[in-house]
Amino acid sequence: MERLDYFFRRLLLMVPTFLGITFVCFALTQAVPGGPVEQALARMRGMGAAEAGRSPHAGAAVSAEQRRALEEHFGFDKPLLQRYGTWLVRDKMGLAARSYKYPNKSAGRLIRERFSVSLVFGLSGFILTYLICIPLGIAKALRHGSD
C-alpha cells in the first residue's frame, strides 16, 4: 500500500511540476530582448534594411501609439498569466501559434519541416561519436598502466 501511495503522490506532483517548468520557460522567452515587437520596431525604423538598400524611413521615430498597436497585435498588451494560458491551451504550448517571421505558417509546421535535417545531423553525430569514442576508450583501458 505504501508503494501505491508513493506512486499516486508522484503522479499528482507531475501536474504542478509541468505547469511550473512550462511557466518559467514561457516567462523567460517573453522577457528576453529582441522579441517580435522589437523586431517590428527595428524594421519600422529602417534598421536591418542594409541588404535591400536603405529604407526611406531610416531613422524615423516610432510613436508610443505605434508601439502599443504592435504590442496589441502580438498580444503583449495582456497580462503574463493570460498569455501563458493562451500559449498553453489554445496554442498547444506554442506549436499551433503563428510564426512571427512567417505569418502563414505555425511554429509546429516550421519544426516539422526542419526536423528531418536535425534528425540526420543528430543521429550521424551520435553514431560517429560512439564509433570513435568507444574504440578509443577500449584502447585506453587495454593500455592502462603501460607507458
Q: Collect the ranges in the chain with pLDDT lower than 70.
A: 48-60, 147
Nearest CA among 86, 92, 114 for reference residue 102: 114
Q: What is the pLDDT, as a whole number, of residue 46? A: 81
CA 54 to chain centre: 31
Q: What is the pLDDT, as a whole number, of residue 147? A: 62
Q: What is the pLDDT, as a whole number, of residue 59? A: 55
Distance CA 42, CA 137 (A): 52
Q: Is the dihedral of CA 22, 27, 28, 34 positive or negative?
A: positive
Kindly provide the residue ranges of all beta strands, DSSP E only, lying in the chain, ordered along the sequence: none
The CA–CA distances, whole Å, from 66 to 50, 62, 78, 131 equal 23, 6, 17, 56
Helix axes 36-45, 64-74, angle to 10 degrees: 140
Q: What is the pLDDT, as a whole number, of residue 51? A: 46
DSSP code of residue 106:
B
pLDDT-above-90 percentage for the chain: 68
pLDDT-above-70 percentage for the chain: 90
**Which residue shows C-alpha cell 501505491?**
4
Q: What is the pLDDT, as a whole number, of residue 135? A: 93
Q: What is the pLDDT, as a whole number, of residue 27? A: 94
Q: What is the pLDDT, as a whole number, of residue 122? A: 96
Q: What is the pLDDT, as a whole number, of residue 65? A: 92
Q: What is the pLDDT of residues 7-50, one digit of tens each?
A: 999 999 999 999 999 999 999 999 888 888 898 888 888 876 55
Asked if 39 and 100 count as a contact pair (C-beta separation under 8 A), the reply is: yes
Q: What is the pLDDT, as a whole number, of residue 1? A: 85
Domain map of the chain by residue range? 2-107, 108-147
What type of residue sits at position 109? R
